[in-house]
Amino acid sequence: MTTPLRITYREAVKQGIRGALLADPRVFLMGEDVGRYGGCFAVSKGLLDEFGEERVRDTPLSESAFVGAGIGAALGGLRPIVEVMTVNFSLLALDQIVNTAATLCHMSGGQFPVPVVIRMATGAGRQLAAQHSHSLEAWYAHVPGLRVVEPATIDDARGMLRVALASPDPVIVFEPISLYNMEGDLTDAAAHVRLEGARVHRAGSSVTLVTYGASLWRCIAAAEVLAQDGIDAEIVDLRSLRPLDDATVLASVRKTRRVVIVDEGWRTCSLAAEIGQRIVEQGFYDLDAPIARVCTEEVPIPYPKHLEDAALPGCERIVDTVRRLLGHAV
């Protein structure tokens, strides 16, 4: 075990991309401003100089065309990493992702798998208002044919891209905007991460917090507050949003018998709804309390900080929900 390296989430993602470019000549990165600008969140800064403009490819503002071109290049034998600035912008490429990337393998009877990786930033927390801050992971997680992951830790940010590129299927990688500046330890575990499977991030016995993405860190903060009250929360980081790892979630539920799902998506038709229903279907008799959800308020993300904070599933709301669930005074 080597000494962990302290780096940012941004740097971890960048090292993942750099590692992939070094490891496989079929890999290239393309997207808006990934080259000369260095990436709109500075993720790919320096990669153009190192790998040249054939492999770090700036695109016009044509989400549908360059995402579709990534799909075509994957069919043509390459391993493209397509960067879309944010999930909000990815809606301009939704046709290519849902109608083409997700369907070709099936419609061709297995002849044409689509090994493309599409990265995009997601979520709120930077006061970017209602067209740059949404969490639409559930839209993609709804679609058979796609694999959807969201690295929340430094190790996953570093390691998930490698396994995403090794997948023969289209993989959507969500990177929470609010985590790019987060610092943490890069450990040896980054070299061994899997694409699928949830992970118990914090073991506990009183309640299970099921979450993913930036909300993992909200749950960690909440768990620390709850610990002061003697409430020992277990935190499950889903990591993969399609497929969902029911087994890890259910194992935790059987242990704690109480669940709060924390989801930065809106509550209606959310991943939280899906996870809750799966728990009901498979673990109803293991529950000692109704399943609770802490989601983003049903409002387009507002610009002012106090309103943005109030809209998100923050630490305080998680703590209150857990306390209420356990019958403690809020």
Partner 1 sequence: MSGLPDGFKRERGLHLLRQMLRIRQFEDRCAELYGAGHIRGFLHLCDGEEAIAVGVMQVLGPGDAIVSTYREHGHALARGVAMGPLMAELYGKRAGCSGGRGGSMHVFDAATRFYGGNAIVGGGLPLAVGLGLAEKLRGTCNVSACFFGEGAAAEGEFHESMNLAALWRLPVLFICENNLYAMGTALARSESQTDIQVKAAAYDVRAAAVDGMDVLAVEQAAREAVEHARAGRGPVLLEMRTYRLRAHSMFDAQLYRDKAEVEEWRKRGPLTTLTTRLKAAGLMTEDDFQALLREADAEVAAAVEFASAAEWEPVEDLARHVYAEEVTP
How far is residue 263's CA from residue 272's CA, in Å, rounded to a whole number? 6
Q: What angle do CA 157, 162, 167 make, to 5 degrees?
A: 120
Cβ nearer to partner 1, comparing 92 with 289: 92
Cβ nearer to partner 1, comparing 50 with 288: 50
Give me the least distance between CB of 103 and partner 1, in Å please.
Answer: 8
Cβ nearer to partner 1, comparing 169 with 245: 169
Radius of gyration (C-alpha) of the chain in whole angstroms = 20
Give me the least distance between CB of 194 and partner 1, in Å please.
Answer: 7
Q: Which of 73, 155, 165, 75 is closest to 119 using CA atoms?
A: 165
Q: Would you give the binding string for partner 1 spanning residues 149-178, x where CB under 8 A is met? A: --------------x--xxxx---------
Determine the size of the site formed for partner 1 (CB under 8 A).
47
Beta-bridge partner residues of 284: none
Residue 195 touches partner 1, criterion: CB under 8 A: yes
Give me the least distance between CB of 44 and partner 1, in Å please.
Answer: 18
Q: Would you give the binding string for partner 1 spanning residues 47-76, x where CB under 8 A is met? A: -------x----xx-x-xxxxxxxxxxxxx
Residue 113 touches partner 1, criterion: CB under 8 A: yes
Which of 24, 33, 95, 246 is in the footprint of partner 1 by CB under 8 A? 95
Helix intervals (H) in the chain = 9-23, 47-51, 63-75, 87-90, 94, 104-107, 137-141, 154-166, 215-228, 246-256, 271-283, 305-311, 315-325
Give me the least distance between CB of 136 and partner 1, in Å please.
Answer: 20
H or E element, residue 5: strand 5-8
Tokens matching residue 64: 């549908």
Q: Which residues are catalytic?
A: 63, 132
How many CB atoms are closer than 10 A to CB 177? 23
Cβ nearer to partner 1, comparing 28 with 217: 28
Residue 89 touches partner 1, criterion: CB under 8 A: no
Candidates 35-43, 92-100, 271-279, 311-319; binding stretch for partner 1 (CB under 8 A):
92-100
Q: Which of 96, 104, 116, 152 is closest to 20 using CA atoms?
A: 116
Give me the least distance between CB of 7 and partner 1, in Å please.
Answer: 23
Candidates 39-47, 107-115, 183-191, 219-227; binding stretch for partner 1 (CB under 8 A):
107-115
CB 17 within 8 A of CB 38: no
CB 256 within 8 A of CB 234: yes
Site for partner 1 in 215-274 (CB under 8 A): none
Which strand ranges, in their side-by-side order, compose the sheet holding 240-242? 56-58, 27-31, 79-86, 117-122, 171-176, 147-149, 240-242
Residue 196 touches partner 1, criterion: CB under 8 A: yes
Tokens matching residue 313: 């599933």
Candidates 10-18, 99-107, 130-138, 279-287; binding stretch for partner 1 (CB under 8 A):
99-107
Residue 112 touches partner 1, criterion: CB under 8 A: yes
Please give the residue ranges that form the binding site for partner 1 (CB under 8 A): 28, 54, 59-60, 62, 64-78, 80, 95-96, 99-100, 104-113, 115, 144-145, 147, 163, 166-169, 194-196
